[in-house]
A and B are shown apart, each in its own frame.
Chain A
Amino acid sequence: MFKKVLILATLLSATMAHADNPTIRGTVASKCSVYTTTQGVFGNPSPDVLSTAPAAGGVQPIVRYDVAIGDYYYGKITYPDSFTSSPTLTSSAVDVSQVSVPAMSAYTNNVVTYDNTFQYDLTEAGSTWFKVSAVATYGYNQAFPAGSYVASVVAECIAK
């Protein structure tokens, strides 16, 4: 009786042995992403001025940097110094200039500026928003010709 029970127990507990090759999967994702949160719009408060300032009827472009790990990237924002597309302008006295790039974070005072570029050392992981302003004037007392005006802001994320 005991032998039968033992055989039965052995048969019941005998299961198939499985061999498996467990896999480890991983994805290398971008550690710095540049988001265009808001595209800018030029307002035309007076005949010789185009401005992205809300008071002038414009919209300031907003760029967001998402950095997964801090201290691996520089963020560089270059404001426009000319139009990428515009009607034919007779005068060369067009000045498209940035007014401010107020970083909405701890980077406000941690910035290097040169030419028309603001460079930030992205030391903190997370999201940072940058707002760009641009004002264009067309010589002294000259009205901008009618048409569409486009200027480009360049937002860069550069590995250290």
Chain B
Amino acid sequence: MKKIVFAMLVAFCGPAMAHEMSPTYLEFTPSYVNDVLKTTIEIFNRREDVNYYEVEVFDKDRNLIPFVTPAKVVNIEYLEKKSIDVYIKRSDKDRTVYVCTLSRFIKEDKTKTNVSSRICSKIK
């Protein structure tokens, strides 16, 4: 039994890489600009193979909604945590449902099949 447990531990001790985003549910609040709402998301990059994350804002049917962030594609180094402010127009508030972050790869000569991760928080 001990051998099986040890074998399982060894088998699952691979270099796992994670994409984390919080909070799960967001709320847009008034910003310092008239008719512009703001929310803040936090990304924690535990993916060694990814240094860039793209911010996306969607409606319920996953159609893109215009938004503003300091940078649409954000550079986040491995094990770095970054807070990002997302701004939308007040008129888009009711149809905005998801704020997502998508991992982005640099196009280069790779032979691997990449796994892109996207995490979406919902507007409550």
Contact = CB atoms under 8 A, between A and B. Distances in A.
Instruction: Determine if chain A interacts with chain B.
Output: yes
Interface of A: 28-42, 52, 61, 63-64, 66, 72-73, 80, 84-85, 132, 134, 148-160
Contact of B114 (A37, A153, A158): A153
A37 B16 contact: yes
Q: How big is the B interface, by class? A: 20 to 34
B110 to A, nearest CB: 5
B20 A33 contact: yes
B113 A41 contact: yes
Nearest to A134: B113
Contact of A80 (B23, B47, B49, B113): B113
Contact of B113 (A29, A72, A150, A159): A150
B114 A150 contact: yes
Given A33-B20, A38-B14, A40-B112, 19 more contacts: A28-B22, A31-B24, A35-B18, A36-B17, A72-B24, A73-B24, A84-B107, A85-B109, A85-B110, A134-B113, A152-B114, A153-B113, A154-B116, A156-B100, A156-B118, A157-B119, A157-B120, A159-B24, A159-B122
A159 B46 CA distance: 20
Contact of A40 (B16, B21, B23, B115): B115
Q: Which 7 A-B pairs have the closest CB atoms?
A: A40-B113, A30-B20, A159-B122, A34-B117, A156-B118, A158-B120, A35-B16
Most chain A CB within 10 A, of B46, B47, B49, B112, is at B112
A24 B46 CA distance: 27
B28 interface: no
B114 A39 contact: yes
A76 to B, nearest CB: 8
Contacts, number: 118
B59 to A, nearest CB: 13
Nearest to A31: B24
Contact of B98 (A134, A150, A153, A158): A158
Interface in B19-62: 19-25, 44, 46-47, 49
Contact of A66 (B18, B24, B25, B114): B18
B111 interface: yes
Given A33-B19, A34-B18, A34-B19, A155 B113 contact: no
Nearest to A41: B112
B25 A159 contact: yes
